[in-house]
Amino acid sequence: MPAEQQLREKVRQALRSGRLPETGPERVLGGLGSGSRCAICEAIIAAGEIELEVRFRTGGSSQTLHLRCFSIFEDERRHPSGLQLSSGAREGA
Ligand SMILES: [Zn+2]
C-alpha cells in the first residue's frame, strides 16, 4: 500500500477530476475485503483488510475503498492540505 503522502495526492487528484465527489458520503457500509479494487489507491482490497462501500450523495454512485484510504479522503475533503495549517502559529490563549 502506498505511503500516506502518495495516498493524499491520489485523493486530491480524484477530487479535482471529479472521480470522487466533494459532497461527502451518504452512507458507508463496512465489511471484509471481497477482492474489489480501491477507488483511491487502486490496489485490491484483500480478504484480511477492511473494505468500505461508500455511497455518495452525488449521482447515487458508490465506490469501494480501504478503511485507511477513506479516512484520508475524509481528511482531505474537509481540510485540504493545500491550505497548510501552520502549527503553533495561532497560540493566542
Ligand atoms: Zn486504498
pLDDT (tens, 9 = 90+) of the chain, 93 residues, equals 578 999 999 999 999 998 898 888 999 999 999 999 999 999 999 999 999 999 988 766 899 999 999 999 999 998 876 555 545 444 444
Give me the domain span that covers residue 46.
30-80
Dihedral of the alpha carbons of 27, 32, 35, 41, in degrees to the nearest 10: 60
Taking the centre of ligand 1 as the mean of its atom positions, its distance from the CA of residue 1, in whole angstroms, is: 7
CA separation, residue 33 to residues 13, 20, 36 (Å) = 24, 20, 7
For residue 39, tell me if it sits in a domain: yes
pLDDT at 2: 72
- For residues 22 and 80, give the distance between their C-alpha atoms in angstroms, rounded to a whole number: 11
pLDDT at 19: 86
For residue 68, tell me if it sits in a domain: yes
Taking the centre of ligand 1 as the mean of its atom positions, its distance from the CA of residue 83, in whole angstroms, is: 24
Query: Amino acid identity of 69?
Result: C
CB-based neighbours (< 5 A) of ligand 1, an ion: 38, 40-41, 66, 69
For residue 51, tell me if it sits in a domain: yes
Taking the centre of ligand 1 as the mean of its atom positions, its distance from the CA of residue 90, in whole angstroms, is: 34
For residue 34, tell me if it sits in a domain: yes
Number of compact structural domains in the chain: 1
For residue 92, tell me if it sits in a domain: no
For residue 15, tell me if it sits in a domain: no
CA separation, residue 43 to residues 7, 32, 51, 90 (Å) = 11, 15, 12, 39
Q: Does the model's pTM come out above 0.85?
A: no
For residue 42, tell me if it sits in a domain: yes
For residue 11, tell me if it sits in a domain: no
